Amino acid sequence: MSDGHLDLVLRVLDHQIVGPRRELVGKVDDLELSWTADAFVVTGLVVGPGGLSQRLPGRLGAWVGAVWRRLSTGSEPQPVVVPTTQVTDLGSPVELTEAAVEALQRSFGLERWLRRYVVGRIPGAKGGDHDEALDSGDGPATPTMSRADLTEPPVRPPAPGAQWLSALLGAPVLDEDGHRLGDLIELHTGIGNERWTLTHLQVTHSPLGTELGYHADPHQGPALLRRAFRHLQRHDVLVPVGEITEIRTEPARVVVTRSGARRHPHHDATAPRPG
């Protein structure tokens, strides 16, 4: 993982996850955020229907969640979180270590069920690149010893007390006087020493099209869309994470200090962007 600046919503959330051999192993369905003693950091990627179901509206989300629980083994299924230490590369896809990929593949209830009871029973399901480990329908059932020795497992249940990014997105950001600065749409992160530390909150008055990237690159074309989104996002401001005094979920709310030099993201001089 190289060090640098990262816009979490634009560059990580909802991106494809791949393995070292370009296997496709899901989407970044949510991000797990935790407060440590000195910083607000990203601790993991939430992968799978357990995470996705909470971002889908109403009954649909409940339905996706119910199917996921039904197909999970164990009495109390927990959403799967991949620690950020397992991320080996961030490009258009998010690349994970071999161990994390294997652990994720074991967590896919629907894939394993279909493999065992539907697709595996049709003649010709095995191709030239067939791996005997798949014959049981899921691959190795328990991690090998060398992996069990690792200090941190390749995937884990959600950390207690952690917040999920999607629960904060769209939350109103207020200052201490109750004056509303706008809605939270993006979290800016600095990556260094294998740690993803949140640096700024981006706050807007018009949440339309925030995942499109026009706030990150002031020169992104085509000109017409650039102008339209620039106009919509002209009052966006960056609030340093140090100015947060309170973060609440249900209902989500972020309170920040009143003072502070806030600037538009396009005038971001301290954080050089890739590209």
Partner 1 sequence: MKKFFAIALGILTAIGGFVDIGDLVANGLVGARFGMSLAWVVLVGIVGICVFAEMSGRVAAVSGRATFDLIRERLGPRVGLLNLAASMAVTLLTYTAEIGGVALALELATSVNPYLWIPVVGAAVWLVLWRVRFSVLENAFGLAGLALIVFAVALWQLGPDWSALWESASRPSLPDGESRAVYFYYAIALFGAAMTPYEVFFFSSGGVEEGWTAKDLGTMRANVFIGFPLGGLLSLAIAATAAVTFFPQSIEVDTLGQLGLPVGLALGKLGIAFLLLGFFAATFGAACETGLSVGYSIAQYFGWQWGKFVEPLRAARFHTVVLLSTIVGVGVLLTTVDPIMLTEYSIVFSAVALPLTYFPILVVANDRTYMGDHANGRLANTLGTIYLFIVGVAAVAAIPLMVLTRAGQ
CA-to-CA distance for 165 and 7, rounded, in angstroms?
12
CB of 50 to partner 1, least distance (A): 13
Task: Give yes or no for residue 251 binding partner 1 (CB under 8 A).
Answer: no
CA-to-CA distance for 229 and 224, rounded, in angstroms?
9
Q: Show the CA angle centred on residue 66, arms to residues 62 and 70, nearest 5°.
A: 175
Q: Which is nearer to partner 1, 55 or 256 (CB)?
A: 55
CB of 66 to partner 1, least distance (A): 16
Q: Which is nearer to partner 1, 130 or 180 (CB)?
A: 130
Q: Which is nearer to partner 1, 176 or 211 (CB)?
A: 211
Cα–Cα distances in Å, from 271 out to 120, 191, 214?
50, 11, 16
Contacts of 3 (CB under 8 A, 6+ apart): 190, 191, 192
Cα–Cα distances in Å, from 43 out to 138, 163, 191, 198, 204?
28, 10, 12, 11, 25
Binding mask 209-248 toward partner 1 (x if CB under 8 A, else -) reads --xxx--xx-xxxxxxx-----------------------
Task: Give yes or no for residue 200 binding partner 1 (CB under 8 A).
Answer: no
List the interface residues with partner 1, window 107-146 (CB under 8 A). 110-111, 114-115, 118-120, 122, 124-130, 134
Task: Give yes or no for residue 29 binding partner 1 (CB under 8 A).
Answer: yes
Q: What tokens does 273 get?
A: 């962007």
Q: Tokens 């074991």, residue?
A: 106
Count residues near partner 1 (CB under 8 A).
Answer: 51
Task: Give yes or no for residue 57 binding partner 1 (CB under 8 A).
Answer: yes
Segment contacting partner 1 by CB under 8 A, of 14-22, 36-44, 174-182, 191-199: 14-22
Q: Where are the alpha helices (DSSP H) in the chain?
A: 8-11, 49-52, 58-71, 98-106, 109-117, 145-148, 165-168, 223-232
Task: Give yes or no for residue 22 binding partner 1 (CB under 8 A).
Answer: yes
Q: Which is nearer to partner 1, 76 or 132 (CB)?
A: 132
Task: Give yes or no for residue 56 binding partner 1 (CB under 8 A).
Answer: yes
> Could you tell me which of 106, 58, 61 has the C-alpha nearest to residue 82?
106
Which of 2, 75, 92, 151 is the binder for partner 1 (CB under 8 A)? 92
Instruction: Please state the separation of Cα 143 from the chain's center in Å.
Output: 25
Q: What tokens does 141 get?
A: 């059932």
Q: Which chain residues interact with partner 1 by CB under 8 A?
A: 11, 14-17, 22-27, 29, 52, 55-57, 60, 91-93, 110-111, 114-115, 118-120, 122, 124-130, 134, 211-213, 216-217, 219-225, 273-275
